[in-house]
RNA sequence: GCCCCCAUGGUCUAGCGGCCUAGGACGCCACCCUUUCAAGGUGGAGAUCGCGGGUUCGAAUCCCGCUGGGGGCACCA
């Protein structure tokens, strides 16, 4: 299955792509790369009313962010395409659809329909009332002759419907993942293939494009399975060879229903904003509906490409478990070279405070070299990049004002604490090089001397120097903070305790 | 209402007739390590493999029914 593989991701620009959409893109991309085939992106912009400003942009941005490069497709947000099977915007391929529709019309496999939306609506309501399956009643096919339809079509707005061959036998859809699925033609109705505005519906456009773009495998979400018999019929009537179909299990929200906006942060780009690494998201999404074996789950991009295959794709829908994604993200963060992590963290620190960045009073741009020295302190504490500002803010703010409470460790009196911190100030004054080992050598023995536990002493110093009870390792933190900052903070802490006493 | 798909711990999954007293991972709990928080290590709780029938010497694995969940039934994709 490596010869002439051509797959496609065919989104419609109707909104921000969510992780379900992009997971489909990922599987297509992986399959293309695995087989050495082509990955094409086609924009299905046939619905003039549902078009959303900026949607195309976020689709392409999502793909780029995740590194899902396409061999053929749109060049940029401004239009333009590359590849030999273009154009890659359906709105620019109208002639092809009309040609196909004409062919179907001529062969008697399609007919013009003049029914008004009102009539169709009333018909559907009636069917619903009678608990009948909704579907077109063939009014224009049975009440009008072909001749009459042709005459009216020249002057009246109309749609073109595909005529379901009800008299034919069972329609079989061969799905690579699900096997053979049978549909009785009688449960299908004459669906619209060409709308009155001259644009095709999904069904027609899809089949025509997949044919002319020589798509070998159609991999899409399972929600498309029920419309596949229509597509099979279209291929048959057009006398074209259908591609291999593979309907991927869906990604579900926590309530097990189809993913949608109301499930919260499902937009792919939102994960970028939330500090997830593209390699982590990719790895995680690959595991939603695909697995290699019973134990491997961390894959580099190359390993994914190497191992991915359709025959290990599952059938059941999968809930997007953000907790596991977060765990995996932390794993990838820890694996990053510190310098690279620093680069990735920088924009998260620099963005406005309202968007999660450091306080706006901190001057931008930040000193990248300084950030690089800080990064190792938080690397194994980070699960998402957007947590960096919170963890690092103490290095960018002035002297802390710790709560007196935090300066007094459990089991110690305020007086003892003040005494201890005073002693620390004294001892630190004598330290030569302000570096980790020297600081530890100076401070660690003091716990015994003062009759405190190490944790108690260090806790008090931590609170004094950082203003927090939780921080990166104390001595590294103190080095990054600098001598002056630490000594001033320590003196302030002593003063705070004395004022309270 | 009709059609289709699916079904292993809370979640993602391995399992394609005997290796399963059902394995891994996330999450959860405990302990260890430890200057806090993490990370790491060890151990643990958690699944009558949705239910009921078959087939078979033997079924999580095959068949049927049921139930449950999901999806689809537009001049939307």
Q: How far does Cα A363 stand from its chain's mean position?
A: 32
Residue nearest to nucleotide B7 (CA to C1'): A316
In tens, the pLDDT along A73-97 reads: 998 766 678 889 979 999 999 999 9
Gap between the Cα atoms of A496 and A501, Å rounded: 9
3-class SS at A112? strand
Gap between the Cα atoms of A455 and A289, Å rounded: 47
Catalytic residue status for A195: no
Nucleotide nearest to A466 (CA to C1'): B36
Token look-up 């006493």 returns: A501
The distance (Å) linking the CA of A327 with the C1' of B44 is: 21
pTM, entire model: 0.94
The distance (Å) linking the CA of A294 with the C1' of B65 is: 32
A307 Cβ contact partners less than 8 Å away, ≥ 6 residues apart: A34, A292, A299
Nucleotide nearest to A206 (CA to C1'): B77
A498 Cβ contact partners less than 8 Å away, ≥ 6 residues apart: A418
Q: Are A344 and A321 in contact (CB under 8 A)?
A: no
Residue nearest to nucleotide B27 (CA to C1'): A323
Those nucleotides of strand B lying less than 7 Å from any protein Cβ are 1-8, 10-15, 23-27, 35-40, 69-77
Q: What is the mean pLDDT of residues A377-404?
A: 95
β-pair partners for A221: A248
The distance (Å) linking the CA of A13 with the C1' of B12 is: 30
**Helix ranges restricted to H, A174-311:** 202-212, 228-238, 268-273, 278-286, 301-307
In tens, the pLDDT along A175-216 reads: 999 999 999 999 999 999 999 999 999 999 999 999 999 999
- Asked if residue A1 has pLDDT above 50, the reply is no
Would you state the pLDDT for residue A3? 61
Would you state the pLDDT for residue A2? 41
Q: Which of A261, A315, A324, A453 is catalytic?
A: A261
The distance (Å) linking the CA of A124 with the C1' of B69 is: 28
Residue nearest to nucleotide B26 (CA to C1'): A324
Buried b (16+ CB within 10 A) or exposed e, A453-463: eeebbbbbbbb
The distance (Å) linking the CA of A417 with the C1' of B43 is: 39
Would you state the pLDDT for residue A177? 96
Nucleotide nearest to A447 (CA to C1'): B35
Nucleotide nearest to A192 (CA to C1'): B75
Token look-up 């295959």 returns: A309
Residue-averaged pLDDT of chain A: 94
Gap between the Cα atoms of A298 and A330, Å rounded: 12
Would you state the pLDDT for residue A265? 59
Comparing CA positions, the residue from A77, A78, A64 lying closest to residue A29 is A64
């Amino acid at each position: 299955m490596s010869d002439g593989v051509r797959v496609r991701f065919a989104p419609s620009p109707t909104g921000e792509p969510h992780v379900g959409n992009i997971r489909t893109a990922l599987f297509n991309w992986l399959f293309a790369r695995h087989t050495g085939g082509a990955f094409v992106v086609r924009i299905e912009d046939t619905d003039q009313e549902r078009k959303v400003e900026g949607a195309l942009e976020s689709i392409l941005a999502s793909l780029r962010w995740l590194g899902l490069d396409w061999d053929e497709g749109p060049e940029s947000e401004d239009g333009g395409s590359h590849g030999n099977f273009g154009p890659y915007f359906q709105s620019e391929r109208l002639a092809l659809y009309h040609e196909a529709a004409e062919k179907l019309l001529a062969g008697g496999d399609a007919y013009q329909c003049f029914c008004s939306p009102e009539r169709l609506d009333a018909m559907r309501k009636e069917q619903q009332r009678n608990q009948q399956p909704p579907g077109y009643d063939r009014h224009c096919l049975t009440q009008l002759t072909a001749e009459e339809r042709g005459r009216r079509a020249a002057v009246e707005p109309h749609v073109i419907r595909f005529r379901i061959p009800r008299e034919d036998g069972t329609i079989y859809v061969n799905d690579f993942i699900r096997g053979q699925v049978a549909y009785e033609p009688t449960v299908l109705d004459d669906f619209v293939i060409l709308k009155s505005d001259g644009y095709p519906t999904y069904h027609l456009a899809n089949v025509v494009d997949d044919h002319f773009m020589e798509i070998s495998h159609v991999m899409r979400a399972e929600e498309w399975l029920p419309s596949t018999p229509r597509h099979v019929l279209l291929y048959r009537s057009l006398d074209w060879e259908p591609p291999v179909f593979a309907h991927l299990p869906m990604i579900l929200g926590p309530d097990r229903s189809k993913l949608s906006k109301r499930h919260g942060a499902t937009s792919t780009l939102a994960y970028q904003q939330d500090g997830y690494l593209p390699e982590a998201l990719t790895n995680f999404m690959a595991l939603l509906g695909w697995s290699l074996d019973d134990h491997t789950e961390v894959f580099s991009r190359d390993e994914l490409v190497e191992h991915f295959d359709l025959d290990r794709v599952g059938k059941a829908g999968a809930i997007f478990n953000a907790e596991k994604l977060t765990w995996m993200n932390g794993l990838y963060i820890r694996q990053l070279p510190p310098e690279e992590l620093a680069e990735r963290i920088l924009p998260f620190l620099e963005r406005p405070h309202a968007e999660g960045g450091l306080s706006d009073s901190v001057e931008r741009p930040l000193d990248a070299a300084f950030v690089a020295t800080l990064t190792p302190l938080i690397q194994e504490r980070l699960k998402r990049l957007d947590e960096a500002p919170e963890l690092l803010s103490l290095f960018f703010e002035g002297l802390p004002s710790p709560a007196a409470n935090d300066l007094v460790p459990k089991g110690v009196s305020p007086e003892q604490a003040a005494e201890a911190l005073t002693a620390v100030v004294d001892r630190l004054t004598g330290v030569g090089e302000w570096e980790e080992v020297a600081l530890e050598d100076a401070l660690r023995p003091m716990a015994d001397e003062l009759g405190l536990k190490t944790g108690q002493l260090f806790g008090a110093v931590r609170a004094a120097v950082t203003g927090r009870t939780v921080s990166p390792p104390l001595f590294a933190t103190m080095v990054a903070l600098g001598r002056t900052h630490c000594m001033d903070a320590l003196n302030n802490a002593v003063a705070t305790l004395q004022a309270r006493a």
